[in-house]
Homo-oligomer: A and B are copies of this chain.
Amino acid sequence: MSAPPSISVDGARLLRRLDELAHIGAIPGTRGCSRLALGDGDRQGRDLVVTWMRDLGLDVTVDGVGNVVATMVGWDPDVAPVLAGSHIDTVDRGGRYDGNLGVLAGLEVIERCLELGLRPPRPLAVAFFTDEEGSRFAPDMLGSLVYVGGMGLEAALEVRDRDGFAVGAELERIGYRGAAPCPARPPAAYVELHIEQGPILDLEDVTIGAVTGVQGISWTEVTFEGQANHAGTTPMHLRRDAGYAAAEVAVAVRTIVAEAGGHQVGTVGSLRLVPDLVNVVAGQATFTVDLRNTDEGALQAVEARVAARIAAVAAAEGITVSSRPLARFEPVPFAPEVVDLVETTAAALGHSCRRLPSGAGHDAQMLARVCPTGMVFVKSQGGISHNPAEHTEDHDVVAGADVLANVMLHLAAATAPPEV
B250 touches A360 (CB 8 A): no
Is residue A232 contacting chain B, with contact meaning CB distance below 8 A? yes
| A281: nearest chain-B partner, CB-CB | B267
- State which of A74-82, A234-242, A402-410 sits at the interface with chain B: A234-242
Is residue A86 contacting chain B, with contact meaning CB distance below 8 A? no
| A257: nearest chain-B partner, CB-CB | B236
Residues from chain B with a CB closer than 8 A to the CB of A203 are 238
The one of B231, B250, B273 in contact with A265, judged by C-beta atoms closer than 8 angstroms, is B231
How far apart are A194's CB and chain B's nearest CB, in angstroms?
A: 11
B280 touches A269 (CB 8 A): yes
Is residue A118 contacting chain B, with contact meaning CB distance below 8 A? no
| A360: nearest chain-B partner, CB-CB | B232
A386 to B233 alpha-carbon distance, docked (Å): 12
Residues from chain B with a CB closer than 8 A to the CB of A257 are 236
A228 to B93 alpha-carbon distance, docked (Å): 14
Residues from chain B with a CB closer than 8 A to the CB of A251 are 244, 247-248, 251
Task: Render A370-389 as a binary contact track against B, CB cut-off 8 A, 1 for contact.
Answer: 00000000000001111100
In the complex with contacts A230-B360, A232-B360, A278-B269 CB distance below 8 A = yes
Is residue A359 contacting chain B, with contact meaning CB distance below 8 A? yes
Is residue A392 contacting chain B, with contact meaning CB distance below 8 A? no
A266 to B246 alpha-carbon distance, docked (Å): 16
A383 touches B229 (CB 8 A): yes
| A93: nearest chain-B partner, CB-CB | B275
B279 touches A232 (CB 8 A): no
Is residue A43 contacting chain B, with contact meaning CB distance below 8 A? no
Is residue A157 contacting chain B, with contact meaning CB distance below 8 A? no
Residues from chain B with a CB closer than 8 A to the CB of A225 are none
Is residue A120 contacting chain B, with contact meaning CB distance below 8 A? no
Is residue A299 contacting chain B, with contact meaning CB distance below 8 A? no
A386 to B279 alpha-carbon distance, docked (Å): 11
Is residue A272 contacting chain B, with contact meaning CB distance below 8 A? yes
The one of B215, B265, B384 in contact with A236, judged by C-beta atoms closer than 8 angstroms, is B265
Is residue A149 contacting chain B, with contact meaning CB distance below 8 A? no
The one of B246, B277, B292 in contact with A269, judged by C-beta atoms closer than 8 angstroms, is B277
How far apart are A355's CB and chain B's nearest CB, in angstroms?
A: 15
Is residue A271 contacting chain B, with contact meaning CB distance below 8 A? yes
Dominant SS among interface residues on chain A: mixed
Is residue A71 contacting chain B, with contact meaning CB distance below 8 A? no
How far apart are A379's CB and chain B's nearest CB, in angstroms?
A: 12
Task: Render A246-268 as a binary contact track against B, CB cut-off 8 A, 1 for contact.
Answer: 11101100100110000001111
A387 to B230 alpha-carbon distance, docked (Å): 10
Is residue A315 contacting chain B, with contact meaning CB distance below 8 A? no
| A278: nearest chain-B partner, CB-CB | B288
Query: Among A215, A238, A244, which residue has the most Cβ atoms of chain B within 10 A?
Result: A244
Query: Which residues of chain A from 271 to 298 have any CB-CB distance to chain B below 8 Å in the complex?
Result: 271-273, 276-282, 288, 290, 292
Residues from chain B with a CB closer than 8 A to the CB of A228 are 387
Is residue A114 contacting chain B, with contact meaning CB distance below 8 A? no
Is residue A347 contacting chain B, with contact meaning CB distance below 8 A? no
Residues from chain B with a CB closer than 8 A to the CB of A269 are 231, 243, 273, 276-282
How far apart are A222's CB and chain B's nearest CB, in angstroms?
A: 11
Residues from chain B with a CB closer than 8 A to the CB of A273 are 269-271
- Contact surface of A with B, Cβ cutoff 8 Å: 196-200, 203, 215, 217, 219, 221, 228-236, 238, 241, 243-244, 246-248, 250-251, 254, 257-258, 265-273, 276-282, 288, 290, 292, 326, 358-361, 383-387
A-B contact list, 18 entries, CB within 8 Å: A198-B233, A198-B234, A199-B233, A221-B278, A228-B387, A229-B384, A232-B360, A233-B359, A233-B360, A234-B359, A236-B266, A243-B269, A246-B247, A247-B248, A251-B251, A267-B279, A271-B271, A271-B276
- Name 12 extra pairs, CB < 8 A, besides A232-B361, A270-B276, A280-B386: A198-B230, A198-B235, A215-B232, A232-B360, A234-B265, A236-B254, A236-B258, A247-B271, A251-B251, A267-B278, A269-B273, A270-B273
